[in-house]
Structure formats: structure tokens, C-alpha cells
Structure 1
Amino acid sequence: MNRYHLLSLPKSLLSKRFVAVIVLINLLFMFSLSSFAAAAPEGAPTLDAQSAVLMDAESGQILYQSNADVAKPPASMSKMMTEYLVSRAVKQGKLNWEDIVSVGENAAKQIGSRIFLAEGDKHTIKELYIAMAVGSANDATTQLAETVAGSEEAFAKLMNDTAAELGMKESHFINSTGLDRADMPEKFRPASIEGETVMSARDAATLAYHILKDEPEFLETAKIQKYKFRERDKKAIDNWNWMLGSNKDNPNLRKFAYEGVDGLKTGHTSSAGNCFTGTALRDGTRLIAVVMGVPGNSNDGKRFLETAKLFDYGFKNFEKKTIIQAKATIPEYETLPIKKGVATKLPIVTATDITILIPKGVAVETSIQEVKATQEPLMAPIKLGDKVGTATYKYTDPSTAEEKVVSIDLIAVEDIDKASWWRLMFRAIGNFFSNLFNGIVDLF
């Protein structure tokens, strides 16, 4: 029975006791809402977006999330996957940036943002790649996809396989561009792939994370402000990313420019709304921000203002903190047993540190879960600096209150040479009598 039904009841039924109960229920409801609000990270922004994520680009740590795992149309943000796969194909030697390709029918028939390629036109992979990254050109994107995989449908399957490989759990691609199925040339709509293209905000951030890790040179293309595709073109392609820090000198885009922003990809369709995956670097810290489903039109720039709230939150409220030091011993696990060495115990330390972003002034406690050797048992000889095991730690992420488990390599602190047969023989004799004595003692 809801409150509207209650209002329709006869007044005689609304006794003082009944009204008191209703008031109490309302108070409890309001209290629960305030408690929920209090649980949100201090200073977290209120966004006009259907979903959003803020991620540390170094570790992949989530600093803020809202509906992060809801699969939504990403529009042209899906081109990030196309960019990733084209760049990877070049690195693998399957393509060369200077390869010249002939434009096919599918690319020439694309709608939306494009550079008006005609069937039979010839351009280099690099030219088409810049047109895709800077101008979000659907025709250039489609031609690149067909060049990599033979057809756009085959490329979409490659996109889906790669999404699974990268841990993108809420993503599905039907084409290289992010266009809805109805907006694709009818002849080239994928018959073997169902549905529409969708991606969650977390997946978009994850994809950006892998681009920055595996293809960092992409930022040199992503930050190009203008690009003249053909010599005869009267107007250069403008970068749809108005948030580029270099736009601070552009009077029309100055209010959107954000210091440190040098990528990545915008998106807009009627079904997706306004979307943006951005990255910014300040004082050695790089963040990735994603907003999806921002209302308004693609020319009002609101998606960039919402993204700025995320960046402000990250840069102003978080600091790097090393929770595990490099070259540190682990209490109660200072050594590992070793066989056939001049010593029977190998001193160990952590190989590297573990550094995370945490809210300023907040402490993080870690607990050791497991210390494990690379092999059981470790066998001499062992050299200084050799990896000999791993340590697994657990901590609570103060940003999301999620339990996190991280592992770090353990290395040898000193050389342990292989013992001579003479030493091993006397050690075995000593162990025999020691075990025998302990066995006798245990009888009494």
C-alpha cells in the first residue's frame, strides 16, 4: 500500500497511532537516505550523467564510480577499440603506417561524422588513423577495420574477443564505429552478430587504461588539435575533444580546456547521449575519467564540464601513498627454506613497492595473506636479486570500501651457493640424529 492509497482512505482509519507509524516510517526512510549519502566519499562530485568512472591510469584503481557496470551505447567511444587494434596490428608487423589502401564501398557509404571518402580513394593507414582519432570519421574507421580483418563484421568479432581478453565484462561490439545497426549501410549490417554496441563506463576506462599502457604513443595523435586530411580541403578537421589543455588559447573553447588533458575519445548519438573518455596528467599522476549519457546536444560541451568535476575531485582529494615498501622484509617471513645450499635459509625482501591513490589524510592498513616460493622446495644455487617467491597482501580500498588483494614479487637478498657433497652428508647425518632424539623425547 503506497502513500497515494493511504490518502484515499477514510479519515476515521487514519488514527493518531496509525499516523505516528507512518511518520516513523518516513523518518526511518529519510535517515537511511542520509546514511547512504554519508557513505559516499567526502567531496565526491554530483554529476549529470547516467554513469561515470574515475580511474588511476597507473594502477587501474577506481577512485569514483556511478552505475559503473551498466552497459550503455558508447557511440564513438567504441573507436578506442578500433584505435587499439589498428595500432597493435602495426606493432605486430601486419600493417605499416605508410601502407596505401583503397577505399571500399562500405566505408564510402558511412554516415555521421566523416571525411567524405569516395570508393576507390587511396590513403595511407596513418592518414585514416588520424582522421579517426581526431575527427571521429566513421568512413576512415570502417576502412581501417576492413584493412585489419578483411570485413567490418570480422573486425567486430575481433573487437569482442579483445574485450574479453582485456577484462571488459559489459561490452559488445557490432561494428568499428559505434553507430547503431539501423545507421549502418544495410548491405553491411552484421548477420552473425546480434544486438547493438554497448559498453559500461568501467569497461571504457579499462580500455583506455590498456591503450595508455600498451600504446602510449597514441596520445601524440589524440592531442592533435587540427588536421588537414587532403591538400585540397578548405577546412581542417577539428578535434572533438574540446577539453585538450592546448585549447586554453582558443577563445571559443577556453572554458572547456583542462590543464593536462591530452586524450582520448568523445562519442555522441541520439541513443547514447553525450559521452567522453578523457585522460589528464598532472604532477606525475595520470587519471582516466569516463562520463556516459550526459544530456544536451553534442555542441554544448556539457560532457566536458562534467568530466572536469571528476578530474578536480581526483587531483584535489587524492594523494599517492606507498602501502608496501620496496626492499622491505616481511615480519615472520624474513626467510624461505632452501635445499642443497651452503645455508638452509634464504633472506628475502619485496622486489618493488605498491603505491595507490588514497583520499588525503586517510590511512590504509595491509595484512599479509600468503608468502609462497616460486618452487617447493627452493634449490641452490640462488643469486642475489633472483625472484624466489610472491607475497600476497589484502587491504580495504578507502575510495570504494572494496576488499583488494595484491601480489608482489620476492627476491633473494644474497647469493646462496650450492653446498659440497661433504657438507650435505654431515648435514643429513645431523638431521638424522636430531630427528631421532626428538622422536625419543616425544615418547616420554
Structure 2
Amino acid sequence: MFFKVKRICSIVAATLLLNATLVLVQSASVFAADAPVDLKLNVRSAILMEASTGQVLYEMNADEAYPPASMSKMMTEYLVMEAIKSGKLSETETVNTSPYAASVIGSGGLLAPNEQSTVDNLFAAMSIYSANDASVTLAERIAGTEEDFAKMMNDKAKEMKLSDKAHFINATGLPRADMGKYAPTGIQGETMLTARDAAIIAYNIIKDHKEVLKYTATPSRKFREKDKAPMINWNWMLEGNKDNVNFKKYAYQGLDGLKTGSTKEALYCFTGTAERNGMRLISVVMGAPKEPDRFIETRKVLDYGFNNFEFVPVLNAKQEIKELKTVNIKKGVATEVPVVTQSELKIIAKKGTPKEQFQPTAEPLSDESKLVAPIAQGQVLGTVKITYGGKDYTTNLVASEQVEKGSWFRLFFRAVKDFFVDLFSGAKKG
């Protein structure tokens, strides 16, 4: 008997040890999967974001603020496109260049004082050639002065929920010293952004004004038809450069934007975006030491994203969710209605992630008292959520069939039935 007990104890101990070992191995796997990735980037900061969800896939010093140089023009682009969309500005409208705008130093040098140019041409100059004169001309047209336009930029930064480090002092990204006597008096400091801020601006541009890509994807364009030389895009990584003898070694499949920037203080910066197989990524690198480095390092960041992540279809459209197959309704021919997903739900996840990690949570509308017949087919009655990578993905649950309002006769007898059911249930409990 003693040896039997001893043998049983040994088996139990071995089993417990095996289970503990499995737990440790599983934990180690989780920690290994979540361990920070070192891409060995030669930049001050970087971030990688998926463009449809805003999910961050990689970051390095992403919340440290640095001068962004002309990357800040992404906010100028956003406000110009917003003005066009709202009807306050037209692409074909002709705008006058002020003497100040024509005198702004740095990239550009295209415009003469009081020269008339279309909004389309000015926007192309800003987006392709990073033209400071065109940027100020557009800013003055929208806000009256560049300083007032910078205030609009800061207001939009708050609206986009950028960090409290995000700050704009002009439409160009030039440092205060380069503005000379035209430096703003009502706005202090310098233009600053974090890599995360730059990615969020890019995310909003692509979400709200995707037409910007028709400009940013252009390798070269003449400002005026009579010009002998075209404006050359500062973005060497454009896919359109794949046959350009000077830039083809930098050209990147699917890359069509977004904005470069460089000053002595900022070094070399680049916000890029590329789309492959239906997945668009946004990358930001800040503070590369040399001009080619901003593209070499961006390639590392984008390669990491495209090589390691993919969209996983976790729910189909019109799919029944076992956690919530029906939703209760009032005053209908039926007391409940079947629900299905309104649309397909995709999640950006690491390649090879087991589907067991994508568990849905479904619930009816928070105010179920409003779910009263008649119910139309396709009416939103609830939501289904899947949490992955610290982000919630949701789609609506809709009625898969219509439910007519019940007659007063039906509703009366249903009420009588419910009354007696509740009465007898209470008696049994008592």
C-alpha cells in the first residue's frame, strides 16, 4: 500500500511539473512574440501604421518630438483639401502670390510676386516639389495670413488628437530663424512633431482626402507648360521611379506618397505610404543623417510590415454569431429576431496567428427598450467586437429578416400568457 501511494504521488508530482513547464513555455512564446523588434534603424525615431485601422505595427522613440521640416506640409495639404471639399476653394481658381510668399526661402522658388497660379498647380508644387512659396500662397488664400493659417493647423492638430508636443508656427516647416521678420508674433516656439503625430496626420489625409495620392505619386511635372524643366519629386522611393536611372535602386513597389522634409535641425525625414495586396501601410522616419538614409531606413520599416503582417478575414458578411444569434424585440409578431453581421470584418495580424485568438464579443444595442417592432431587414440591432493587438475591431449586427408589428389581439394574449408564467414562476420560487 505504501509503495502504491508513493507511486501515485510521483505521478501527480510529474504531472504538475509537466503542466508548469508547459505554462512557462507558453508564456515564453507569448513574451517572444511581443518582444520589441529591433530593425537597427539609423534614425532618431520611427513608426509603422496600418492605414485603414490606425493600428501601430512598429515604433521606435515614436513619442519624442523633433523638427519635422517639410513633413509638416501634410497638415497644410490636409487643410487645403478640406477647403476644396467644403467648396471654400476650387482647384481651378487662380490665386495671387504675395511678395512675402514669393520671397520665402528653401525649396520652391517657382513664383514671382503677384503671379497668378491655379490652386491645382500650387498644390502640385507643394506636394511634388515641396514648394514653400506655393505653400504660403495657399495658406494666405485660405486664412488671410500665414500666422492665422498656422493657428488653423494647431486647431486641426487638437481635432486629430495629436500629442500635446505637436506644434505648428507656419505652413512650410521652416525654422523660425529662416522666416526673419515674417516670423509669427502670436505663436511661440518652433514647429515640432512626434513620429506618431506625423503618422496620424498621414492617416487622416488618406482617410479623408485620398485624392492627395494622385499628386504625391507623380515623379515629375511641369509647373507651367512653357517651363523647360519639370519639378522633380523629392520622394525617390516612388514606384513610378522604377525605370529612372537615378532613383530606381530606391523605388519601392506600391509606394505612392507621402512627404519628405529636411532642414539642418531636422536632418532628413520622410513619411511614406505604400499599398500591396490590399494592405496600405504608413511609415515615418525622422532624423536620418543623410538624404539617401531616409529612404534606406524606410525600406526596412515597410519591409517589416509587409513581410510580417496580413489582413485576416475573421468574420464574413451575413454571418451568424453563436454568442448572439437573436435579439429580443417588443410588440412584434415574433418576440425575437435573428441577427447576422452587416459586413466582413478583417483584422491586421501577424502572419500565422492562430484564429483561436480572434474571439468575438457580441451585444445588442445598449438601449434595448428602443427595439420595438416593426423591425426592417438590415436594421442595426447590435454590435460584434474582436480585440486583438490592443485594438478593437467592430461591425454591426443587423436583422436578417423583417418582423411585423403584432396585432393588439396577439399582444394582449401574449401579455396574459407572460403574466401567468411570471405568476407560477414566482410561486415555485416561494
Partner of 1:421: 408
Q: Are residue 105 (structure 1) and residue 96 (structure 2) matched?
A: no
What amino acid is aligned across from residue 437 of structure 1 in structure 2? F
Q: Give the gaps of 5 or more residues in structure 2.
A: 1-29
> What is the correspondence of 1:249-288 to structure 2 with a 5 Å cutoff?
249-288=243-282
Q: Does 2:293 correspond to 1:306?
A: no
Cα distance 1:167–1:237, how it changes in 2: closer, same or farther (>3 A)? same
2:318 is aligned to: 327
Select which of 147, 164, 171 maps to 2:158: 164
Task: Go from structure 1 to structure 2 and tell me whether the alpha carbon gap of 1:271 and 1:353 turns closer, same or farther (over 3 Å shift).
Answer: same
CA distance in 1, matches of 2:94, 2:256: 28
Distance 1:36 1:409, change over 3 A: closer
CA contact (8 A) 1:320 1:358 kept: yes
- Aligned-pair distance for 1:258? 1.1
Say if 1:349 and 1:413, in contact at 8 Å, map to a contact too. Answer: yes
Instruction: Summarize deviations over 1:176-209 as a string: whole Å, max 9, x none.
Output: 11111111141x3222222111111112111111
Q: 2:174 aligns with which of 179, 194, 199?
A: 179
Shift of 1:130: 0.7
CA shift for structure 1 position 263: 0.9
Higher deviation after alignment, 358-367 or 125-134: 358-367
CA distance in 2, matches of 1:230, 1:285: 36
Indicate conservation of the 8 Å contact 1:90/1:97, yes or no.
Answer: yes
Q: Indicate the RMSD between aligned Cα atoms, in angstroms.
A: 2.0
Shift of 1:231: 4.2
Q: Deviations over 1:397-424 (max 9, x none)?
A: 1xxxxx2233321101111110000000
CA spacing shift, 1:345–1:37, aligned 2, 3 Å = closer
2: distance between equivalents of 1:350 and 1:37? Answer: 34
1:134-190 Cα offsets, whole Å, 9 max, x none, are 11011110110111111111111111111222222242111111111111141x322
Take 2:33 and 2:320, find their aligned partners in 1: how far apart are those partners? 38
Asked if 1:389 corresponds to 2:382, the answer is yes
Partner AA of 1:349 in structure 2: V
> Are the structure 2 counterparts of residues 269 and 37 from structure 1 closer, same or farther at C-alpha, using a change threshold of 3 Å?
farther
- Decide whether the 8 Å contact of 1:348 with 1:413 is kept in 2: yes
Displacement after TM superposition at 1:370 (Å): 5.5
Of residues 391, 394, 406 in structure 2, which corresponds to 1:407? 394
Alpha-carbon distance between aligned partners in 2 of 1:193 and 1:153, rounded to the nearest angstrom: 8
Task: State the SS of the aligned residue for 1:191.
Answer: coil
Partners in 1 of 2:193 and 2:347 — Cα distance?
26
Equivalent residues of 1:352, 1:408 under 8 A apart: yes
Cα-to-partner distance string for 1:281-318 (whole Å, 9 max, x where unaligned): 2222221111111112x3xx111111111121112222
Q: Secondary structure at the match of 2:210?
A: coil
State the match for 1:190 in structure 2: 184
SS of 2:89's partner is coil
Name the stretch that deviates more: 414-423 or 343-352: 343-352
Alignment of 1:114-263 (within 5 A): 114-169=108-163, 170-186=165-181, 188-263=182-257
Q: How does 1:315-354 map to 2 (within 5 A)?
A: 315-354=306-345
Separation in structure 1 between the aligned mates of residue 233 and residue 411 of structure 2, nearest angstrom? 71
The change in CA–CA distance for 1:353 and 1:105 in structure 2 (over 3 A counts) is: same
Corresponding position of 1:12: none
Question: In structure 1, how many angstroms separate the alpha carbons of the residues matched to 2:310 and 2:398?
Answer: 28
| 333-342 vs 277-286, greater mean Cα deviation | 277-286
**Paired residue type of 1:184:** M
Aligned mate of 1:363, from 329, 354, 369: 354
Percent identical across equivalent pairs? Answer: 50
CA contact (8 A) 2:68 2:173 kept: yes
Distance 1:79 1:355 in 2: 32
**Structure 1 letter corresponding to 2:174:** L
CA distance in 2 between counterparts of 1:281 and 1:156 reads 31
**Count of aligned positions:** 398
State the distance in 2 between where 1:336 and 1:352 align: 18
- How far did 1:104 drift? 1.0
CA contact (8 A) 1:56 1:287 kept: yes
- 1:40 maps to 2:32: no
Conservation of the 8 A alpha-carbon contact between 2:347 and 2:393: no
Once residues 74 and 313 of structure 1 are traced to their aligned partners in structure 2, the CA distance between those partners, rounded to angstroms, is 23
- Aligned to 1:217, the other structure's residue is in SS state helix
For residue 242 of structure 2, give the secondary structure of its aligned residue in structure 1.
helix
Most deviating of 165-174 and 305-314 = 165-174
